[in-house]
A and B are shown apart, each in its own frame.
Chain A
Amino acid sequence: MPLVLPKCDAPIPERKAHILVKGSAESIIPACNIQTVPGDMTERGCAFAGCRGVVGGPIKDAIQLVHGPIGCAYYTWGTRRNLSDTALHRKYCFSTDLVENDVVFGGAEKLYSSIIESYKLFPEARAVLVYATCVVGLIGDDLEAVCKKAEKEIGIRVIPFWCEGFRGVSQSLGHHIANKALFDYVVGTKELQDPTPYDMNIIGEFNIDGDAWAIKPLFDELGVRVLSIFTGNASFDDLPPMHAAKLNIVQCQRSSTYIAKMIQDKYGTPFINVSLFGIKQTSKALRDVGKFFNLSDKAEEIIKEETAKIKPKIDYYRRRLEGKRVMVYQGAPRAWHWVRLFEELGMEVVVAATTFGHKDDYEKLVAKVKEGTLIIDNPNAPELVEIIAEYKPDLFVSGLKEKYFSYKQGVPFVNGHSYEEGPYAAFSGFVNFARDIDIAVNHPIWKMIRQKPSLYKEI
């Protein structure tokens, strides 16, 4: 019998609304995107993490300047594996390193000097992105004024992000803040010099472990010109002409639908939601885009060719993984993007959870999973530990913080946040995904740790 309220939640009945088992009434979704119960040992992060870490951070040739005390900058330095072909954004960490005196007297001057100095030291930078942390919101530094003044001085764009950690209920609001600032300050500020009828943006693709490099060649081959990837491996200069695209496709529909909608509302550019993971979903995305640009034949050709390339490998892994039960816990979209991938590998999702999913994420998730699947919003550490113990999945897919809960309970794990050895996206990435799952699930250690050797039996 699947559990609904874990035992550990007896003292916090508020959690009941966040946990459900999918029944026949498919419209039911858990309570979500609301304040975490204080002290519930949540896995959530803050708005700063969503803004600096997820959306702004991948812009490869910008000085990523964190305005605040040192910690927030340090912890986002080279952490997320949003790869690029240049090094600035992950190799260097810029901070105004506010100290007590600045908190009392204000940090505006320090911020201004920091922007100027950073640019002088890194004149190759194409923009400066300034992120506000908790304390900056409280002391009320005039970020906009400082950025504007600095912009005049150095002649490149200086963009303020009001992403103090205390905003909102999770990192999700930080995504929105980043979208809004990049839309308001950047998109539409430059016209495209050589527009073509085949210009498209890929939105919500952050090049985790090279995902964008597995995705983009497919569209190149299709005959579509990818103007900008928002924001994986993106140059800052790719962003101003985003409005000139004929179509936007949205991969991460939690963190980045905002900007697709803003572009649609202001410039009339339509957008299509895509799941560029696995054979079926990637094929569908190619078909949808092919249809839009009237390139359907080419799309079918690519699908046929790419599928033929990977099908034998996927079949091999399917034989090794068939029937395995999966617990998947991701930020939000990858939880539902991947349900179909596990199906393609013959695996079954038995527990699905997200850190910061909204209503639309859960609608998509509930629609995709089978009846009887446990769905949890914002699961906390004791719940995860208990659910791993109760469900004993054959595989847990989540992030680094959760990895060791899994290992200590003897459950194979694949890092779905920053990947083991990606990319995991599109056709070629799917093989890596399957391979990493196979490496985890079929490793001999899991049997060994369950066998109690006879020499210790009496102890």
Chain B
Amino acid sequence: MVPLPLFLPFAELEVGQHLYWHVGGFQIHGQVFLSSWLVIGALLALVVAGTRNLGRDPRGVQNLLEFIWAYLRDLAREQIGEKAYRDWLPFIGTLFLFIFVSNWGGALVPWKLIHLPSGELGAPTADINTTIALALLVSLAYFYAGLSRKGFRYFEYYVEPTPIMLPFKIVEDFTKPLSLSFRLFGNILADELVVAVLAFLVPLVVPLPAMFLGLFTSAIQALIFATLAAYYIGEAVHEEQH
């Protein structure tokens, strides 16, 4: 770990430094835990506020929630297909909302005002452990989707269209979570680093375009993660038309 020589209080880079908590025999990155729970709390508060007084004409928060729901339903239906998308809409929706709010929360909330003994608060998705956990969940989900829908006929997918594809399909099962997790982690960390380096060089105005670009890519990355998760599940439950 190389401590970078950046001393401005609002442009400090602390990659690879964590607030360690010891739980049982495990080391836990405390700052990621704190910010994930803040994200989960914010999402819960939003949903509870939006569903307390349900009206026939949606307005305010309820309107926003219905818009998000319709958007996610279209996404899941497009990738998974008419038959199975209802079972997987909650999973896809949760992934999208958690990643989206994490990314934007990391970029928009001035976490620097909260001082931790070590490490810093930020987007939970800028930590590789979070993204690998999410990606492995997606792996489990598509195996479960395929096995529960088709039983052992699911493994026919590995030898279609020819058995020559078998090794590639097996390798694909490992590269899917790898690329999912690295894509999200790299993009979010890269956004934070670009903003931090620019803010170190020129503290005023100049980092703003990079921040807007960061918000844009964060949203796109959340969309990509959810789309790919839905696509993998759709691939697993897809029935060949004979």
Partners in one complex: no
Chain A positions near chain B (C-beta within 8 angstroms): none
